Amino acid sequence: MTKILFICHGNICRSPMAEFIFNDICKKRGITDAFAESAATSREEIGNDVYPPAKAKLREKGIPFERRYARQAAPGDYSRYSLFVCMDRYNVKNLTRIFGGDPEGKIRLLSDFTRSPGSEISDPWYSGDFETAFRDILEGCEGLAAYVAFGPHQEDRC
């Protein structure tokens, strides 16, 4: 079972969008050996639900979601998840600090599963551009689903 934890700053926009998008893709493609959850690197939004404009974008795109409560990633998560997929380099830096390193190389950027590896998912909390965030997250989740289903370098098979 591949257990993925999507990571963003507050866990109310990008990472929960990725969680719901990825799980929806897996369900539709019959990928039963993977699931995703999400968390933050900060404590700012702990306990809060998904930001309303993010929910509106998911609803508009037909992605099912449910109420959830933002949480911060914790050191113990490192042994519980197979992969940590971050939205930007700031998340990678902070997550690595929370874990005290990344000895197994589990921390990646979502864009690593796209045709633009190394790029970052813009934070719609600041930009207000939930459409671009959705599109970029969708592309990354599609590539990640292919990676999970078929392994590295097989992204085009899905």
- Residues labelled as active-site residues: 8, 14, 123
**How many Å from the N-terminal Cα to the C-terminal Cα in the chain?**
19
Specify whether the CB–CB gap between 90 and 9 falls below 8 A.
yes
Strand-strand pairing, 107-109 and 34-40: unpaired
Q: What is the per-residue DSSP string for 115-141?
A: SSTT-----HHHH--HHHHHHHHHHHH
Rounded CA-CA distance 38/31 in Å is: 19
Q: What is the DSSP string of 50-79?
A: --HHHHHHHHHHT---------B--TTHHH
Q: What 3-state DSSP class applies to 37?
A: strand
Tokens of 22: 């990825």
The one-letter amino acid code at 51 reads: Y
